[in-house]
Amino acid sequence: MKIAKVGIIGAGQMGSGIAHTCALAGHHVVLHDVAPDRAEAGIVQIAANMGRQVKSGKITEEDKASALGRIGKAPDYAGFSDCDLVIESATEKEAIKVKILQDLCPHLNKDALIGSNTSSISITRLAAVTDRPEKFMGIHFMNPVPVMELVELIRGIVTDDATFASMKEFTLGLKKTIAVSEDFPAFIVNRILLPMINEAIYTLYEGVGGVEAIDTAMRLGAHHPMGPLQLADFIGLDTCLSVMQVLHEGLSDSKYRPCPLLVKYVEAGWLGRKTKRGFYDYRGEKPVPTR
């Protein structure tokens, strides 16, 4: 199946990044968010990000104008009726994703594929709540989507070969490199990355080092481009916690227990960059450690 038109549910950082990438690759895109103003804000952000790509010489002004002309808004799920593929990119909460998928399916054409950008939740379980589990699979983009080269593709137990072939062709057309993962909690990248971040938070919690010391140690000692606590703020501490909870519950291993300090930060509403406070305070000119 050739994928020409793509619907995207969720206009946050990930959803707008996916829309950005799909439009530049020549796909027509419709973007929907539960809050209509968020969809509009997402398109404004896409235009700003494309403007930076023009300044850096990665794309031309014509590329930008053409891509933006291919992006529209869907006020409701009926706006996805002529889409070949719809990608769910809502918050990393299974109950929310399940409700979205159940409400979405009646509005799709019978051949439409569904992808979930979940970073940790069972694809087989999500597929089971749809009317087309064989046409459902995980397509996990990395953040920021226009910059990061990797996409994880995850088949559920019922995903058929034709769906996988179409999704693979679509992903390669976005100029992304594919890593195929089995349907286990958190897949490949987050199965490795999030426990490392969680361990960095334990290191802070136990007083082994401060925020700056931990991030400096990993940037300069392990040559990571970003320290783990800085990265946690970038990902969103609520997302980090959700992934660790999926790992802990799904694998029943105490090594995946979320650090109590991570839980406290999320309870406080300190979710990282998006709320201006996390392991760093972003309200001033320069980020300042909060511990």
Residues annotated as catalytic (active site), given as ranges: 119, 140, 152, 190
Residue 257 CA to residue 248 CA, distance in Å, equals 6
Angle between helical axes of 228-235 and 189-205 (0-180°, round to 10): 120
Residue 101 CA to residue 116 CA, distance in Å, equals 9
H or E, element range at 244? helix 237-251
Place of tokens 């930076």: 52
In the β-sheet with 136-141, what is the strand arrangement from edge to edge?
A: 71-73, 28-32, 5-9, 85-88, 113-116, 136-141, 150-155, 177-181
Assigned token pair, 101? 């998928």
Within 13 A of 88's CA, how many CA atoms are on the CB side?
Answer: 30
Q: Where are the beta strands (DSSP E) in 142-278?
A: 150-155, 177-181
Following CA atoms 195, 199, 204, 205 in sequence, which dihedral angle do they give, to the nearest 10 degrees?
A: 90
